[in-house]
Amino acid sequence: MTSGPAPQRQRAREAALARAVDEGLLGPGSPLVGLLDVDGVLAAVEALHQAFDGPATVHHTFAAKACGLVPVLRLLAEAGMGCEVASPGELEQALAAGFTPDRLVFDSPAKTVDELEFALAHGIAINLDNFQELERVDRLLAGREPSGPIGLRVNPQVGAGAIGAMSTATATSKFGVALRDPGAVDAVIDAFTRRPWLNRLHAHVGSQGCPLPLIAQGIRAAYDLAERVNTGLGHARITGLDIGGGLPVNFDSEDDSPGYADYVAELRSAVPGLFDGRYTLVTEFGRSLLAKSGTIGSLVEYTKSAGGRRIAVTHAGAQVATRTVFMPDAWPLRVGVFDAAGRPKEGPLQVVDIAGPCCFAGDLTATARELPAIEPGDVVTLYDTGAYYFSSHFSYNSLPRPAVFGYRTDSGGQVRLATVRAAQSVREVVEESGLSHADSLVALCADDGDSPDSAEYGTKKEVEQ
């Protein structure tokens, strides 16, 4: 049984897919497309804000890595979100989308001096990853006060979730200061004692595959450490707790579970003092805000069989569903089948593999699924793909990035579409692959090596200019 917005979301998705087919946005000339349910995204944002309603001041930021597309970021900015960024590219995308510096959180684990200087100069909140970075900021500040909040990321080392590669609070995680390592807690306390400008503690425990009790356990460790620092100093040195994001998404059905209310209930039980208003809270949710609102639609180019197994060859593979293809057990996707007019197909079920266009055998987005009979010209859909699948393109085989469209539906089922990202042309793929330097290696081979303006040096000068 589905509940809440799930039936409405399904109806809107089917209407949007039919509209995309009808307008030629998905078909022989455009065999791959991404569709984003704008109302679904806004509903998720509203649910997040409602779940955290209370005496504590809460700054909700969207993790840009989940969908670094400027129109999506602009939508979230207008909906009252801030933005968490973890690279120079994400930072520039967020600024271009209209986020002001005071609504940003910069979390990269490998920040350069220039990146730190920019954040410090513009009042962007920073979460520092380690003691070396802390000392770097000491030198950059040179005694002056920072213009924005600065926090220190800690790793509570509470263990892994179901997906090891996504778990950020293991004993050997690359993120933050490992609190259970010998001397680490004392070193963190000393860092706050000696730096009046250090005023936040950051712990991002959650991610896909992490159960809510594990997330709450990690946040409790950060909260207890903040209490210990403030009690020891006799005043509130730590005024903010960045508790990250990582609410798991249900990829098995249409249900929105767990929800933000479930997340907050778990935290209130494990860390009741977190919400009493003494700490400003920061969240960094990404996948959970967008995943359920996204659909990838692909034309079926061919159908065949091998070893008794039916295969549908589509245009959606590892280039858009990278994690699903390489870790199918951890990142399974639900699949839908529609006819050439974009109408849901019914009828007897057949066991089929859904293959992508990439030139390696494992390029499968689903295996041994029972689905209605699929024919060339049909449309296969991959559900729950609003986060990561649209913006984290894998350029295997130089496949172009697909177009992405946002949609809204009214009470009568009428659909309005808006372009989020135009499809990348094959010409743009070629240009991106170094077309402007096409002769550089041939020239390098022809160069006798005596000239100071060799082909290699000339190319370097061009980059510097």
Is 43 within 8 Å of 413 (Cβ atoms)?
no
Confidence of residue 293 (pLDDT cuts 50, 70, 90): very high
* Residue 154: its H or E element: strand 150-155
Say yes or no: 347 and 261 in one domain.
Answer: no
The sign of the CA dihedral 90, 92, 97, 101 is positive
Place of tokens 């550089």: 440
> Quick check: is 53 in a domain?
no
Q: What's the pLDDT at 3? A: 38
Per-residue model confidence as pLDDT tens digits over 424-433: 999 999 999 9
| CATH code of the domain containing 143 | 3.20.20.10
Cα 16 from Cα 201, distance rounded (Å) = 43
> Quick check: is 172 in a domain?
yes
Burial of 265 (0-12, 13-18, 19+ CB in 10 A): middle
Per-residue model confidence as pLDDT tens digits over 52-69: 999 999 999 999 999 999
Question: What does DSSP say about strands 32-37 and 294-306: parallel, antiparallel, or unpaired?
Answer: antiparallel
At 133, list the tokens. Answer: 């970075």
> Quick check: is 56 in a domain?
no
pLDDT at residue 28 is higher than 90: yes
> Quick check: is 413 in a domain?
yes
Say yes or no: 353 and 419 in one domain.
Answer: yes
List the domain range (segments joined by +) for residue 301. 292-428
Tell me how many domains the chain contains. Answer: 3
Q: What's the pLDDT at 456? A: 52
Say yes or no: 339 and 424 in one domain.
Answer: yes
Per-residue model confidence as pLDDT tens digits over 92-125: 999 999 999 999 999 998 999 999 999 999 999 9
Say yes or no: 279 and 134 in one domain.
Answer: yes
Is 61 within 8 Å of 82 (Cβ atoms)?
yes
E strands, 222-279, are 240-242
pLDDT at residue 131 is higher than 70: yes
- Over residues 358-379, mean pLDDT: 97
Per-residue model confidence as pLDDT tens digits over 136-153: 999 999 988 899 999 999
| CATH code of the domain containing 400 | 2.40.37.10
Say yes or no: 457 and 320 in one domain.
Answer: no
> Quick check: is 90 in a domain?
no
> Quick check: is 241 in a domain?
yes
Confidence of residue 179 (pLDDT cuts 50, 70, 90): confident
- Over residues 291-306, mean pLDDT: 97
> Quick check: is 279 in a domain?
yes
Say yes or no: 394 and 451 in one domain.
Answer: no
Residues pairing with 372 in the sheet? 349
Q: What's the pLDDT at 286? A: 95
From 250, 285, 320, give the residue that closes a domain: 285
> Quick check: is 77 in a domain?
no
Per-residue model confidence as pLDDT tens digits over 200-258: 999 988 666 678 988 898 899 999 999 999 999 999 999 999 999 989 999 899 999 89
Say yes or no: 256 and 310 in one domain.
Answer: no
Say yes or no: 304 and 203 in one domain.
Answer: no
Say yes or no: 120 and 266 in one domain.
Answer: yes
Say yes or no: 241 and 363 in one domain.
Answer: no
Confidence of residue 159 (pLDDT cuts 50, 70, 90): low
Say yes or no: 300 and 259 in one domain.
Answer: no
Say yes or no: 327 and 450 in one domain.
Answer: no
Secondary structure of residue 82 in the 3-state scheme: strand
